[in-house]
Amino acid sequence: MKLEGKTALVTGGGTGIGAAIAKRFVEEGAKVCITGRRLEKLEQQAAAFASDSVIVCAGDVAVHDDVKRMVETTAAFGGGIDILVNNAACDRVAPIADLDPADWRRILETNLTGPFLLMRETIPHMIRRGGGSIINVASIGGLRCMPGAPAYGSSKAGLIFLTQQAAVDYSRAGVRCNVVCPGATRTEMLEEAVSGIAKGVGTDVDGILAKFASVIPMGRVSSPSEIAAVAAFLAGDESSFMTGAVLVVDGGANIVDVSGAAIG
């Protein structure tokens, strides 16, 4: 119960990594507001917990009025906000010359502007509480280039910088800000992203994930619960002297030489 007495806002909390983080936070004693665009997914997730531990707030992180409502709902539910997890994200696989500008804008708005808006509205609440912890979920795609991911990679690289900028600006006010960079993690979003690729090469999602795993030193992709464990650590007092940190959680994928992997 290391998060007992704390209140958290988790975006993209209806599925995947966000849902796993919300679950872990509740298990650690926190009250959690989960947000997302699909109300039915949020309600399904919340139904697994006691009504006094989880509340839902549907909305789009790229819409400022929705963000304000998310923050107000969370603060009213828990009497303030101690933890913010910016997890909501979207993607579109296409190289630069094939990427629709509307898709570029949507990805940047969701993956980068959304966290900025959440941080902008949440940080004053945290300062009034004497501090807090912001956890931004980026990706190893923000550290290394992936084929066909110009918008996603740019947005996640920007999120890493935004995280560290907030750490510089607000650490003395007691607000810590760290970023988690997962590698391949089996989520609904990843499965949707690779399903088209799988069909193109005559395999299925499991086949594509097996190819990912073949060049990961630990020999597998991660589960959302493994990312949630890192988020719980960053949310709690055990990480009290950490801010601006980039925690890579990828089974060692980012340290592999691609040339060697190709012949390994």
User: Which residues belong to the active site?
Assistant: 152
Question: In sequence order, which ranges of the chain are alpha helices (DSSP H)?
Answer: 16-27, 39-46, 64-78, 101-108, 114-129, 150-170, 188-200, 205-214, 224-235, 258-263
Q: Which residue is it, tokens 């500008």?
A: 101
Tokens of 22: 């919300």
The 10 Å CB-count burial string (b at 16+, else e) for 191-205 is bebbeebbeeeeeeb
CA atoms of 223 and 122, how far apart (whole Å): 28
Q: Which amino acid is at 148?
A: G
Phi, psi of 99 (to 5 degrees): -85, 125
Q: Among 230, 229, 231, which residue's Cα sits nearest to residue 86?
A: 231
The kind and range of the H/E element at 56 are: strand 54-58
Cα–Cα distance between 224 and 204 in angstroms, integer? Answer: 21
